[in-house]
């Protein structure tokens, strides 16, 4: 079984290879401030209503938030719902900006 968290650089490599689906669980104002290209916007509060309709339980999902707390909570919830390949990006978009893509604004 996959670890619950994945490092930003590892997630970026998988994303470049199109081996994961990136789910951004931040609020719309946060997405307007900073985002990662190709991410699917699904605010944390919407996940329970949308996950089973819009996500594939067999797909490798990588979940992103600001600092990694909300994404880890969503990842745990998804795993409990049968999405066994869900992982949270450790450190969130803040770490992504520091470690992967400095052009992504920090806030």
Active site residues: 65
Tell me the pTM: 0.96
Q: Are strands 61-64 and 21-24 parallel, antiparallel or unpaired?
A: parallel
> Are 51 and 2 within 8 A, CB to CB?
no
- 85-105 pLDDT tens trace: 999 999 999 999 999 999 999
- 49-77 pLDDT tens trace: 999 999 999 999 999 999 999 999 999 99
The C-alpha atoms of residue 15 and residue 38 are separated, in whole angstroms, by 9
Domains of the chain in sequence order = 5-99 (3.40.250.10)
């Amino acid at each position: 079984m996959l670890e619950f968290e994945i490092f930003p650089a590892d997630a970026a490599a998988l994303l470049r290879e199109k081996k994961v689906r990136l789910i951004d669980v931040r609020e719309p104002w946060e997405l307007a401030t900073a985002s990662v290209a190709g991410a699917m916007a699904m605010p944390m509060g919407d996940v329970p209503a949308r996950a089973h309709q819009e996500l594939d339980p067999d797909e490798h999902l990588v979940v992103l938030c600001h600092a990694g707390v909300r994404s880890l909570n969503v990842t745990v919830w998804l795993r409990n719902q049968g999405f066994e390949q869900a992982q949270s990006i450790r450190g969130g978009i803040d770490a992504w900006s520091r470690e992967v893509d400095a052009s992504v604004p920090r806030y």
